[in-house]
Amino acid sequence: MNLCPRGRQHGGEMAKVQRRYEKKTRLSGKSQKGKDVSKREITVQMLSADVSGKAQKYSRIGPREFVQLYDDDDEDLDRFYTKEEMTIERVKDACLKHFEPKVGNNVVCDILAGGQGPSCASLKQIPNMNLIYVRFINKSSTADAPVFVDDTDAVHPQSTTVKRKGSNSVPSPKKAKISTPMPKSLSVTHMLKLGKLINKSTTTIHLYGFNLADMSWSSSPRAVEFSVSEDVLGEGAFRKAYKAESKDESFAGSWVVKEYNENALDVIAETNQTLETHTKVVQMHSLAQNFASQLKTSVEQNVMQESFGDCFHYGSVYLGKKGDEFVTVEEFVDGEFSKYINNDGTLCKNVNEVILQKAECLSHFSFEKSNNQVMVLDIQGCGYSLVDPEVASSSLFGENKELLFTTGNL
């Protein structure tokens, strides 16, 4: 039956109303009978990156939070409800986006089954989808980085999923491809070289990490092999720096190994310290790193990103033990080195330079945040990537007469 022009117009308006109603239904996540069709958000509990204590548990960080799985104004709803639906990668991406102001963007998200783990490789391994536990691990320095797999066994929403008309089948999940490693092809020269004694070219350093969230060190070290250069990369007032490379899966890339020089050894001896206690430099670095992260969060929360611009950040640092010698192992920062503020508070660049003003801002921010007790100094690095901070305190010694922080505080 043919409709008159007015009838066709009326039919078109009805179709638009129906489409708007369907879109609203999908956004609300409920069907006409009030049943859940999909999850718009999940409840997430953030945990520490490492376990601690006798029970070897991950510590809770902050309260539980609601995390949006997708933006409410996303128009491509069919893509969310008929193709991808809910996967573990979707959950990780949503958590990375939600917690980025707190953890930064140089981390990976690891979903845990509970406070003692283990890591979940698929949604099927998550015991309770009503509460998801996550931790965030630095991409370049995690000792137990999670393995990401193709989560093809996606959990499809309960009840009825909204589908396109004419869709009569659900595509079968893809199976993860298992690749067989190929043996290395050796040249005749390499074959003959194996007949000679090859000198060991790597150094094993046992690394300890410090968890600022629960104020504890890792209970056991991680043995990592490094190829350490014999040439000095640089030398400061207390330490010499050597560039190092590692092929370890969790530490692959460039690092800097720092050893104490003769001047530091003399000062440490004069102040009745030991090299082991002097490795408070790692704890001090964690404090400076926390101040820098808090400043970045404050800028973002006050919607000042455009006017303030880039923020400073510190990389990862570990306490290392090389034989009987204590060292620090830090992420290598490439670029032109600059010192902005000295360890006595002296400004080292033109006061009109924006990056120097931001360095002053970080130093003043630490002073205010600590109720005038400490101040981050020796602000230096390559661009906005900082290294080797010093912390000055209002009191030189603690209650037990122990020197606070390091010899740079003298």
Torsional sign, CA 361, 365, 367, 372:
positive
117 with 222, same domain: the answer is: no
92 with 221, same domain: the answer is: no
- The single-letter code of the amino acid at 27 is L
* Exposure string for 214-234, b = 16+ CB within 10 A, e = fewer: eebbbeebbebbbebeeeeee
Structural contact between residues 68 and 56, judged by C-beta atoms closer than 8 angstroms:
no
Structure tokens at 294: 């808090």
CATH number at residue 221: 3.30.200.20
Structural contact between residues 86 and 156, judged by C-beta atoms closer than 8 angstroms:
yes
pLDDT at 18: 57
pLDDT at 302: 87
Q: Examine the pLDDT at 161 and tell me if it is beyond 60.
A: no
Residue 397 is given by DSSP the state: B
Distance between CA atoms of 10 and 382, rounded to whole angstroms? 66
244 with 318, same domain: the answer is: yes
Question: Does any domain span residue 3?
Answer: no
The band of 355, judged by pLDDT with boundaries at 50, 70 and 90, is very high
- The single-letter code of the amino acid at 348 is C
Which one is predicted more confidently, 372 or 152? 372
212 with 134, same domain: the answer is: no
Give the CA dihedral 57, 291, 255, 225, nearest 10 degrees. Answer: -20
How does pLDDT run across 376-409, given as a tens digit for each residue?
999 999 999 999 899 888 775 555 555 455 545 4
pLDDT at 269: 74
Structural contact between residues 246 and 255, judged by C-beta atoms closer than 8 angstroms:
yes
121 with 220, same domain: the answer is: no
State mean pLDDT over 175-179. 51
Question: Does any domain span residue 265?
Answer: yes
Question: Does any domain span residue 279?
Answer: yes
Question: Does any domain span residue 8?
Answer: no
Q: Which residues contact 82 (CB under 8 A, 6 or more apart)?
A: 161, 162, 163, 164, 167
Looking at 101, 117, 138, the residue that finishes a domain is: 138
H helices present in 4-156, as ranges: 5-28, 77-78, 88-103
Question: Does any domain span residue 63?
Answer: yes
- The single-letter code of the amino acid at 47 is L
Structural contact between residues 327 and 239, judged by C-beta atoms closer than 8 angstroms:
no
Task: Give the gyration radius of the chain's Cα atoms.
Answer: 28
Which one is predicted more confidently, 258 or 393? 258
Question: Does any domain span residue 368?
Answer: yes
118 with 265, same domain: the answer is: no
pLDDT at 303: 79
CATH number at residue 101: 3.10.20
Distance between CA atoms of 292 and 167, rounded to whole angstroms? 52
Question: Does any domain span residue 145?
Answer: no
Distance between CA atoms of 365 and 355, rounded to whole angstroms? 15
Structural contact between residues 277 and 404, judged by C-beta atoms closer than 8 angstroms:
no
Question: Does any domain span residue 261?
Answer: yes
The band of 41, judged by pLDDT with boundaries at 50, 70 and 90, is confident
CA-closest candidate to residue 265, choices 275, 251, 257: 275
Look at 151-165, 273-287, 311-325 and tell me which has the smallest mean pLDDT: 151-165
Total domains in the chain come to 2
Q: Examine the pLDDT at 145 and tell me if it is beyond 90.
A: no
Which one is predicted more confidently, 228 or 239? 228
Q: Examine the pLDDT at 106 and tell me if it is beyond 90.
A: no
120 with 208, same domain: the answer is: no
pLDDT at 399: 56
H helices present in 67-126, as ranges: 77-78, 88-103
How does pLDDT run across 202-226, given as a tens digit for each residue?
899 999 988 888 888 888 899 999 9
Q: Examine the pLDDT at 101 and tell me if it is beyond 50.
A: yes
311 with 228, same domain: the answer is: yes
Q: Quick one: how far is CA 297 from the chain centroid?
A: 15
Percent of the chain at pLDDT > 90 equals: 37
pLDDT at 198: 56
Q: Which residues contact 298 (CB under 8 A, 6 or more apart)?
A: 365
State mean pLDDT over 226-237. 89
CA-closest candidate to residue 47, choices 132, 150, 141, 139: 132
207 with 91, same domain: the answer is: no
Query: What strands, in cross-sheet order, belong to the sheet with 385-387?
Result: 313-314, 385-387, 379-382, 338-341
Structure tokens at 279: 């490795």
CA-closest candidate to residue 167, choices 78, 90, 86: 78
235 with 355, same domain: the answer is: yes
98 with 234, same domain: the answer is: no
Domain that holds residue 297: 203-393
